[in-house]
Structure 1
Amino acid sequence: MSFLKKIFSTKEAEKEPEVLLEEESPLCPIKAIVEQDERVVYFYLWGDEETNFGIKSCWVRNLTHAPDELETKLLNKGIPPLLPRQYCKFPEGQEKLKPGDLSIVWLEEGDGAALFLKDEILAIIPAWSGLEDFPGYARDCKGHGNFAWEITDSNELPERVEQAIACWYSWSSELNPFRLEQPRILEVYEDLLGKSDKYYAIDGNQWPPKGLYLRNGASKTVFATVGLSLIPMPSVEMYVDDRLEHNRIELGIILDSQLQESDLQNIAEWISGQACLPWDNITFFGEGHTINFQPLNSNKFNSVILTNQLELLPKIELGKYRNSHVNFLWMVPISQKERKDVIDNGSESLISKLDKIGTAIYSLDRDEVV
């Protein structure tokens, strides 16, 4: 069934809309769809049903005369609405679009996209589409229309689209971002944590490439991801003011060295799974967030808190990548009670308590702090 029919389903629809373009996000479980019927063209982003992304829609152009008022009766019947005249740069309507003239450019996070007509942006749906009645931006809209907003000169999204084009192009080069950044990241780790004893590829031979540093020392075992920071996390800008300070991460964990080879393998596989979560779930990791911890089957410590605020933890500085600060977050095992303390009182309360127990934070045999 077409997307127009899914959102505006009705027995009165005269003709099945034509799907002009359909494309999957390279990072997130999101599909871009462009549909056209006899009256109007719409651009959609559709998230997988297992996510909270939903369906985001943006008007692209009317193909016939714009109405003077909102088509409330037709909208209530499920018929795809035209944009009212006052919001149309071309109120008499425009010609139909041809599939071969259209293309999609995904934003670097993979949770937003721009629709191009040849070399010109027609519409943009960013991550925050759907919030507070905001649908998306369209070239042929003026003002804040019901189903699209105008792309004004002050809008930063066209520049972000251009940056995304450069980003995607860089991955087609032989010296792609991973080949350039992997040695630098590993050098930072080895200078601070010691020479690696093993290096895992944790991408399953799928793009984007990701690796895992392992230092299996006499008293401590250290894992640290390599390459997560090359892809900005989705959804960040919906929750923070400055996405460039929060949208790139690497992850690490330090444990007392009482681990068998099978334990090391289990942890590596677990970290590999966590490394995909922000994009698979269209979410992000940040300071104070908690996630499940299952690789060692601990009866007590079955979660981790993500932090770089504990005084004892090494401070890993990875600088910036593509103008974003790279945050290194340690994954510190915590109990169910301690996780509840984070939920009830915020992460600062637990971090303060963990700071007081020193090197015990590395042990799965420690006492709970709450």
Structure 2
Amino acid sequence: MSNGPTVLIEQANSRYTMYAVVEQDERTAYFYLYPAELQSKKYRMRACWLRNLQPGPAQRDSVAMANGDAPMLEAQYCNHPEGKEPLQAALISIVWMPEEDGAAVLYDGEILGVIPGWSLYAEDPAAYAADCIGADGNAIVFPLGAPGKNEQHARVAEAIRFRQTWEDTETPQWPVIQQQFISAYEKQFGEIKQYFAIDNNQWPPMALGKFEKDNIVYFLTMGVSIRSMPWVSYLYNETAPAYRRMELALAVSKDDYTEEEIMKMAEGISAIADIPWRHISWLGEGHTVGSSKLPAPFESLVLSAALYTGESIDMPEMYGDKVNLFWVSPVTLSEREYAHQKANGGYELLEKMIQEDITHIVKKRDAIV
């Protein structure tokens, strides 16, 4: 009888939505990604075999699976058919992908296993292990292979570099990024009037700048685009770099709303800035988000770059990617329900809004549906 596996490392991502765990018993070592309890209805655990500690079986290890134990990998698919020495906890580290929905296990600095973020959303989960050299149609794990042969090597190297640049206190990243955004916004809306940190002292730094021009108050975020959003690489594949980063903006007419109402709406923006990472989701054109900070009759916000009618804003790139600027526009309950009636209904709501001459500038209005 086995005493059950020993946990060698357990580490949460920065928002505690996922936990990375490496476990080992006397037969085998595994890497798991577990969704936190709040996420567990939406997402399932993902597993990655790392190594056999005993001679591998000739056939699929169905006995272990029937007993609820982690299966060994067939000998023919291992670079160590006779088994390998147990992993030492002290040599193990975890690196989270920038989206924080996938992670890799490093052993003495070398990649041992990877569970890519998109595996969380796919019907057939996938994981890659350095000690795996082959797979069949029912594979529980795939070979990680050589650096040039599998993009996971580049993704993990990129994630490590990304983390290191933010840990480097000699050359802080944030002042540079902050200034790029402030300059881009000031060019369009004049000098920044106020600056609010909206990151709750969590990494990454995020802020909201307040600007005023022609009796309109503008709020624009900066720093949200430091992280790429979850889901996007799975949905968009090769074109993902065009959709995975965003900042948010709000423009409110001072003729229509009081200073107090305007500040409350701005609070609404800062509350949604972290949603993709707190909920393992993403935000894009036509998406709606509930908000309690809006004046009646509004109860939600719709995100759109298409509503913007001003002069184009030259947004900085972030890590080589385009940054999308989504203007948030308040919508009523009936409008939100209209948007949710069918797939991509948010686009249809935006089309209706544009036909009714509703722009990015928030003014008092009646429901249009």
TM-score, reference length from structure 2:
0.90
Which residue of 2 is the match for residue 6 of structure 1? none
State the distance in 1 between where 2:291 and 2:214 align: 23
How many residues were matched structurally? 357
2:216·2:252 contact (CA, 8 Å) conserved in 1?
yes
Shift of 1:136: 0.7
Range moving further from structure 2, 86-95 or 36-45: 86-95
Identity of aligned residues (%): 33
Given candidates 159, 166, 183, the residue that maps to 1:164 is: 159
Q: Does 1:181 align with 2:180?
A: no
> 1:270–1:96: structure 2 CA closer, same or farther, 3 Å change rule?
same
Which residue of 1 is the match for residue 111 of structure 2? 121
- 1:2-40 deviations in Å (ceiling 9; x for gaps): xxxxxxxxxxx5213111111121355211110000000
Q: Does 1:68 align with 2:61?
A: no
State the distance in 2 between where 1:212 and 1:34 align: 39
Which residue of 2 is the match for residue 211 of structure 1? 207
> 1:306–1:33: structure 2 CA closer, same or farther, 3 Å change rule?
same
Given candidates 29, 37, 45, the residue that maps to 2:25 is: 37
State the distance in 2 between where 1:313 and 1:289 align: 21
Structure 1 letter corresponding to 2:130 = R
The alignment partner of 1:240 has SS state of: helix
Which residue of 2 is the match for residue 18 of structure 1? 6
Q: Does 1:147 align with 2:144?
A: no
> 1:113–1:361: structure 2 CA closer, same or farther, 3 Å change rule?
closer
State the distance in 1 between where 2:364 and 2:262 align: 18
2:302·2:331 contact (CA, 8 Å) conserved in 1?
yes
- 1:166-195 deviations in Å (ceiling 9; x for gaps): 111111234322211101101111111222
The alignment partner of 1:273 has SS state of: helix
> 1:338–1:359: structure 2 CA closer, same or farther, 3 Å change rule?
closer
State the distance in 2 between where 1:152 and 1:313 align: 50
State the distance in 1 between where 2:135 and 2:215 align: 61
Which residue of 2 is the match for residue 10 of structure 1? none
Given candidates 313, 327, 335, the residue that maps to 1:330 is: 327
Given candidates 125, 129, 134, the residue that maps to 1:138 is: 129
The alignment partner of 2:117 has SS state of: coil
State the distance in 2 between where 1:280 and 1:17 align: 30
Which residue of 1 is the match for residue 247 of structure 2? 250
Given candidates 299, 302, 315, the residue that maps to 1:302 is: 299
The alignment partner of 1:128 has SS state of: helix
Shift of 1:342: 2.2
Cα RMSD (Å) of the superposition?
Answer: 2.0
Shift of 1:308: 0.6
Which residue of 2 is the match for residue 351 of structure 1? 350
> 1:68–1:79: structure 2 CA closer, same or farther, 3 Å change rule?
same
> 1:133–1:357: structure 2 CA closer, same or farther, 3 Å change rule?
closer
Shift of 1:216: 4.0
Shift of 1:209: 0.8
Shift of 1:344: 3.0
Shift of 1:123: 0.2
Q: Does 1:193 align with 2:189?
A: yes
Structure 2 letter corresponding to 1:333 = P
Which residue of 2 is the match for residue 312 of structure 1? 309
Structure 2 letter corresponding to 1:180 = V
2:190·2:212 contact (CA, 8 Å) conserved in 1?
no
Which residue of 2 is the match for residue 9 of structure 1? none
Which residue of 2 is the match for residue 263 of structure 1? 261
- List gaps (5 residues or longer) in structure 1: 1-12
Structure 2 letter corresponding to 1:338 = E
Which residue of 2 is the match for residue 287 of structure 1? 285
